[in-house]
Amino acid sequence: MNKRFIVPGVDARTTLAQAAPALLLAKAEPLFDLEDAARGGADADAVHDMRVASRRLREAMRLLGPLYPPKAFGTWYKRVRRITRALGPVRDSDVFIEDFTKLGNHVGAEGKRAVAFMVGYRTGRREHELDVLDAELAGLDLAENRRSFESFARRLADPASAGEPLAGFAYGAVAERAATVFGAQPAALVSEHVTRQHELRIDYKRLRYAVEVFAPCYGDSFDDLHETLTAFQDTLGDLHDMHVFLEMLRAPERIEAAARAGVSADALAEVEALLEERAHADFERFVGLVSAHPAEALLPELLLPLARVPEPEMPPVEPITAGVSEELAVAAPVVVGEEPWAEGWDAAETVVDTAPVVDPGDIPV
C-alpha cells in the first residue's frame, strides 16, 4: 500500500477509540507543516498541497465527527474550513494561469492575444487573493494552535463506547458515499448536464477521501482502488475546469474588457473553440471510465475489503516436547499400520483366553 496512507498502529481490527485520534493526527500533520511554504503564494505547489491537506482533514473530521464532543469539533472544523476557503481562490488562479498559458501553444497569433489577455486578468486577481490568504493564516495562527488540535484529536466524547473495529465503522461510511456517487452518475452521463457533472466530481472526491481515511483497512487492495477513484475525480475535475474557463471567457464584462484591450471577437472565438474541444474530450474520458468501472464492479472493490476483517493472529503454540531431551521422549504406544484393524491383520493369530468355561450347573448353591 502507498506509504503516504499508512498510519502506524492502525489496521482493520483497531478499535475506533484508538484509530480515530491516530487518523486525525495523520491527516492534520501536512496541514500544519505546509503553512510557512504556502504563505505569500510564491510556492504554488505548497498552496496546492496545503489546500488538499485541508480537504482531506475536513473529510476525516466529517467521518469521525460523531465520536467527538460537538462544541470542540465545531470549533476546529470551522477553522479548517476557513483554511480551505482562503487557499481555494489562489489555487484556482494558479490552475487557470498554468492551463491557459499552455493553450497558447495550440492557437494562432490572434488566439495568443486572447490567451495573454485572460492570463493577465487572472494574474491581477491572484494578487488580491494572496492578501486575503495571508491575513486568514495569520489570524488562525496554526503553529500556536497545533497543540490545541492534538489535544482535541485525543479527546473522544465517550471512548468506552468506541470499541467497534475500524473496518465496521468504515463499511457504513464508504457505503453511504458510494450510494451517493452511483445514484448521481446516470444523470451526469448526459453531456449537457454540466451541473450534474460538477456535483458528481464533488461526490467522487468525498468517496476518494473516505477511502484514503480508511486506507489501513484495505491493505493490498488499496492502490488499485485509489487509482480508479483518482482517475474519476481528475477527469471530472478537468471537465469542470473547461466549463469554468468557458464561462469566464463568455462573461459580458470580460468580452468588453478584451475589446478595450484590442482583443478581437475572432480571437476569443478561437480560444473558445479549443476549450469546447477539450471539454468534449474530457467528457468522453469520463464515459470511458464508467464503462471500464461500472457500479456493479466498483462497489465490491469498495466494500468487500471492509467486510472481511481478518481474525486476530494467535501466538504460536510450543510443541509439548519442547525442551525435553531425546532420551526422555516417550514413544507412542501404537505404531501406525499395526493396529488390529489394519490391512493384513489375521484374527487367528491373536491370543485367545484359554481359561475353562464354567457350567452354571456346576456352581454350588
What CATH number did the domain enclosing 113 receive?
A: 1.40.20.10
Residue 364 has what pLDDT? Answer: 47
Can you give the residue range of the structural domain that contains 85?
Answer: 15-154
Residues 206, 143 share a domain:
no
- Residue 28: the pLDDT is 94
Nearest to 283 by CA among 249, 245, 242: 242
Sequence-ordered alpha helix ranges (H) in the chain: 16-33, 35-38, 44-64, 70-103, 109-140, 142-153, 166-188, 194-213, 222-250, 252-260, 265-292, 295-307
245 contacts 100 by C-beta, under 8 angstroms: yes
* Nearby residues of 63 by Cβ (< 8 Å), 6 or more positions away: 173, 210, 213
User: Cell triple for residue 179?
Assistant: 450510494
Does 32 lie in the same domain as 150?
yes
Sequence-distant (≥ 6) Cβ neighbours of residue 278 within 8 angstroms: 238, 242
Nearest of 179, 208, 280, 221 to residue 55 by alpha carbon:
208
Asked if residue 356 is part of any domain, the answer here is no
Return the pLDDT at 329: 42
194 and 145 housed in the same domain: no
Residues 264 and 240 placed together within one structural domain of the fold: yes
| Number of structural domains the chain divides into | 2
Residue 145: the pLDDT is 86
- 3-class secondary structure, 89: helix
According to DSSP H, which parts of 107-165 are helical? 109-140, 142-153
Do residues 148 and 168 share a domain?
A: no
Domain termination residue (choose one: 154, 173, 204): 154
Instruction: From first to last of the 365 residues of the chain, give the pLDDT tens digit.
Output: 788 899 999 999 999 999 999 999 999 999 988 888 888 777 889 899 999 999 999 999 999 999 999 999 999 999 999 999 989 999 999 999 999 999 999 999 999 999 999 999 999 999 889 888 888 888 878 878 899 999 999 999 999 999 999 999 999 999 999 999 999 999 999 999 999 999 999 999 999 999 999 999 999 999 999 999 999 999 999 999 999 999 999 999 999 999 999 999 999 999 999 999 999 999 999 999 999 999 999 999 999 999 976 655 545 655 555 554 444 444 444 454 555 544 544 444 444 444 444 454 554 44
What Cα–Cα distance (Å) separates residue 222 from each residue in 68, 149, 228, 288, 300?
27, 28, 10, 22, 13
Chain-centroid distance of CA 66 in Å reads 19
Matching residue, cell 482502488: 225
Domain ends where: 96, 128, 154? 154
